[in-house]
Amino acid sequence: MSAPPPVAIPLRLSEHLAAPVEPLKKGDPCTAVILGAGGDLTRRKLMPALYHLLHDGLLHDDFSVVGAAREPLTDQAFRDRMRQAILDSTEVGHVPDATWDRFAQRIHYVQGDMTDPAFFAAVSARVAEFEKESGRPRGRLFYLALPPSVYATAVEHLSATGLVPRIDDPAQRPWARVIVEKPFGSSLATARALNQSILKRLAEHQVFRIDHYLGKETVQNLLVLRFANSIFEPIWNRRHIHHVQITAAETVGVEHRAGYYEQAGVVRDMFQNHLLQLLALTAMEPPVAFRAEDVRDEKVKVLRAIRPITPATIDDFAVRGQYGPGAIGGLAVPGYRQEDRVAPNSATPTYAAVRFLVDNWRWQGVPFFVRSGKRMARRATEIAIQFQRPPHLMFQNGGRSFAANTLVIRIQPNEGVSLCFEIKVPGVDVKMTSVQMDFSYANVFGATDHSAYETLLLDAMVGDGTLYARSDQVEAAWSIVDPIVQAWSAEPPRDFPNYVSGSWGPGAADAFIARDGCQWRQP
């Protein structure tokens, strides 16, 4: 018999910890320039995040933001658009007029073509104007909200015009930094070439390669959970952990990203950045201090310890899938091959499950099962640590099987942490059941509408690269996923589509994980 669903026991914040904590950092004086400000990212994420930071008093009084894009707009027209974007945002509630007025006077606009050196000269003149008015040294933060194909060109222009000079000393003021959006390359070769191009002109500490997953509260809490609690770290190893599951499931299809997705597929889109980042945080050794370079050093060590997957071993380590027609929330949805701008015989995987092995002292023999898919049964991202079962079970319990102890870190939705364990049911007989102690951020701290981008933008303003990817980390991740992509490209699938929209993926994935005596969780 399978174990029944565990009973949930909510956890609450201790009274002596309930007092609000004062913020520890505030943005430096700076001018933030968004290159590509006419896009969806600026409207949905960046401007709402900057507004929130100002609302919470985390932006310096001496702060300005410049939107730069092709469309001819006045400062006021751009402000009006950004106000509407913030009002429409799901991450911002009420926008008081007084708060908006304080934010609006900091918003400016420059029009031009990103490939034209004259455009960067115009941006330079505008930034110099703000710095002269300020009368004090100001940092410069450039956000490349641009197509990946022009990252290298944009950095070349920023360097050539002196907008972002090379600064070898991280302590030097005023500073100049660049935030680069994903995808950072499409393969190991392209990522390496992009790194080389950028690092010819900028120092590593000036380059912030963003992954919004790392700004999520629960992802950051994973480090605190592991390294600030003595009950977890002693058992965080191969002797006590049977396996780890990392899941990123989406109910949506490719939507408007079909053109990109046809070229990328699920492995490039999700594994190279988000999921390998989560694996590295889960498996890393304790850093000597909570400093950017120390944390990133340990993450890179994990990635370098992952056993290579070759074309000869691909079937032992990975399963792929593509969604067909089905139903999500009771509504019929098309299969991937019926989506707009998708080839009718497309071999692009929309689902992948990979068994990673980390060949080091702590994790030898512990499989890390990592999966991601579109049109799945439920939207959920989580890390599940399943512990070893007791070596001997003395309780008969009426033939009911015992559930393994599992620690789950929920990243989205309903961010939180839960722990499943066995207890005795009250009564004269020794009967057991599974219970789940559950901590929810929303229940304990109240609902929050703050986004990951707020954390990441503020970190960039203060020069904290802990939650950003370093060049060697990006290349190490590509070296892991490249062989998977190449092996699957060389051997087209014969069974696509092989899972129904609204399911938990292809049946082959269930058989795949069962080979290790495991089964997938259903978050």
**pLDDT at position 131, please?**
86
Asked if 63 contacts 106 with a C-beta cutoff of 8 angstroms, the reply is yes
Q: What's the pLDDT tens digit per position in 334-364?
A: 999 999 999 999 999 999 999 999 999 999 9
pLDDT band at 377 (very low <50, low <70, confident <90, very high): very high
Which whole number is the average pLDDT over 6-28?
59
Q: Give alpha helix (H) positions in 66-183.
A: 75-88, 97-104, 117-134, 151-160
Report residue 389's pLDDT band, with 50, 70 and 90 as the boundaries: confident
Q: Tell me how far apart the alpha carbons of residues 256 and 260 are, in angstroms, rounded to a whole number.
A: 9
Q: What is the pLDDT of residue 19?
A: 46
pLDDT, tens only, 489-522: 999 999 999 999 999 999 999 999 999 999 999 9
Please state the pTM of the whole predicted model.
0.91
DSSP state at residue 260: H
pLDDT at 465: 92
Q: Which two tokens stand for residue 236?
A: 């965080």
- Domains of the chain (ranges; CATH) run 30-209 (3.40.50.720), 214-514 (3.30.360.10)
Computed from CA positions of residues 48, 54, 58, 61, in that sequence, does the dihedral angle turn out positive or negative?
positive
Confidence at 5, pLDDT banded by 50, 70, 90:
low
For the cut 50, the answer to whether the pLDDT of residue 16 exceeds it is: no
Tokens of 2: 């399978």
At 7 the pLDDT is: 59
- Once rounded to an integer, what is the mean pLDDT over residues 182-204? 94
Please give the Cα distance from 70 to 37 (Å, whole number).
Answer: 9
pLDDT of residue 18: 47
Tokens matching residue 187: 């393969």
Instruction: Say if residues 7 and 433 touch (Cβ distance below 8 Å).
Output: yes
Q: Rounded to whole angstroms, what are the CA distances from 127 to 38, 107, 130, 134, 161?
A: 19, 12, 5, 11, 12
Q: Which of 60, 243, 274, 392 does the annotation list as catalytic?
A: 274
Give CA–CA dist 407/437, Å, rounded.
10
How much of the chain, in percent, has pLDDT values that exceed 70? Answer: 92
Digit-coded pLDDT (tens) for 285-336: 999 988 889 999 999 999 999 999 999 999 999 999 999 999 998 899 999 9
185: left (phi over 0), alpha (psi -120 to 50) or beta: left
pLDDT the model gives residue 448? 62
Neighbour-count burial of 14, counting CB atoms closer than 10 A to its CB (0-12 exposed, 13-18 middle, 19+ buried): exposed
182 sits in which H/E element = none
Q: Is 217 in contact with 186 (CB distance < 8 Å)?
A: no
Across 1-10, 182-191, 426-435, 455-464, least confident range? 1-10
* Torsional class of 399: left (φ above 0), alpha (ψ -120 to 50), beta (otherwise): left
What are the Cα distances from residue 18, in Å, to 15, 21, 354, 445? 5, 9, 41, 9
Q: How confident is the model at residue 439 (pLDDT cuts 50, 70, 90)?
A: confident
Confidence of residue 93 (pLDDT cuts 50, 70, 90): low
Task: Average the pLDDT over 475-487 and give the result.
Answer: 96
pLDDT of residue 71: 92
Residue 284 phi/psi, 5-degree rounding, is -65, 155
Confidence of residue 9 (pLDDT cuts 50, 70, 90): low
Contact 354, 244 (CB under 8 A): no
Which spans in 109-250 are helix H? Answer: 117-134, 151-160, 188-199, 217-227
pLDDT in tens, 103-160: 999 999 999 888 888 899 999 999 998 888 877 788 999 999 998 889 999 999 999 9
Strand order in the sheet with 318-321: 7-10, 431-440, 416-425, 406-412, 380-387, 241-249, 367-373, 351-357, 318-321
Q: Which two tokens stand for residue 405?
A: 């102890």
- Whole-angstrom Cα distance, residue 63 to residue 464? 18
All residues at 6 or more sequence positions from 6 whose CB lies less than 8 Å from its CB, including other chains: 403, 420, 433, 434, 435, 436
Distances in Å between the Cα of 289 and the Cα atoms of 31, 91, 418, 466 are 30, 33, 27, 11
Buried b (16+ CB within 10 A) or exposed e, 145-174: bbebebbbebbbbbbebebbeebeeeeeee
Q: What is the pLDDT of residues 403-425, one digit of tens each?
A: 789 999 999 888 889 998 877 77
Please state, rounded to an integer, the average pLDDT across all residues of the chain.
89
Concerning whether 243 is annotated as a catalytic residue, the answer is no
The residues, any chain, with a CB within 8 Å of residue 395's CB and separated by 6 or more, are 430, 432
pLDDT above 60 (res 212)? yes
